Amino acid sequence: MSEQQYPPVIPSLVVSDVQATLDWFGKLGYETTFTMPSPDGSIAHAEVKRGPVHFMMGPATWGGSPGSTGLSIYINLQESVDAYHDVVTAAGITISDPIADQFWGDRTFTVQHPDGYRIMFSEHIRDVSPEEMETAMKEMAGAPA
């Protein structure tokens, strides 16, 4: 995935039925721009767009966390994610997911608001081919690559 196609802030919804949610957004005039199948054939991640507005979504089995409200926010930083991680840590904010390189080509870390909202900060570090993503998804699910 390439960072040029994404705005700086993207809401990410945890939904009960990804396909039904894609259909619902379609009725609102949103275009499905990306879907990532899980090894069992269900949709593990999807994205829609209408003009400059983007939404990401996935099923609770892939994106939910205990205490999650069903909404997370994905913020593409215009600075080093490592440097920002240091600032956030120094401020005493609890990091819920440690800084790490992700299979989709971003380096990320996540904080969780006391009410359960998750905010993931990212920096795009490399473009990833669809084949690499498919292999990574299979590995995450424990399926043979």
Instruction: Return the amino acid letter for 7.
Output: P
pTM above 0.85, yes or no: no
For residue 112, the domain's CATH number is 3.10.180.10
- Measured at the alpha carbon of residue 116, what is the angle toward residues 115 and 120, in degrees to the nearest 5? 125
Per-residue pLDDT of the chain (145 residues; tens, 9 = 90+): 444 478 888 888 888 889 999 998 898 888 999 999 888 888 999 999 988 889 999 887 654 454 455 778 888 888 899 999 999 999 888 899 999 999 889 999 998 876 677 889 999 999 999 889 888 878 877 766 5
Instruction: List Cα–Cα distances, 94 to 98, 100, 142, in angstroms.
Output: 10, 16, 29
What is the predicted pLDDT for the residue at 77? 87
Burial 61-83 (b: 16+ CB within 10 A, else e): ebbbeeeeeeebbbbbbeeebee
What is the predicted pLDDT for the residue at 4? 47
State the Cα torsion 131-138-56-75 to the nearest 10°. -80
Instruction: List Cα–Cα distances, 22 to 8, 34, 45, 52, 56, in angstroms.
Output: 22, 10, 11, 17, 10
Domain count, the chain: 1
Expressed as residue numbers, the domain containing 39 is 3-141
Q: What is the DSSP letter of 3?
A: G
User: What is the largest distance, in Å, between two alpha-carbon atoms of the chain?
Assistant: 45
Residue pair 27/91 in contact by the 8 Å Cβ criterion: no
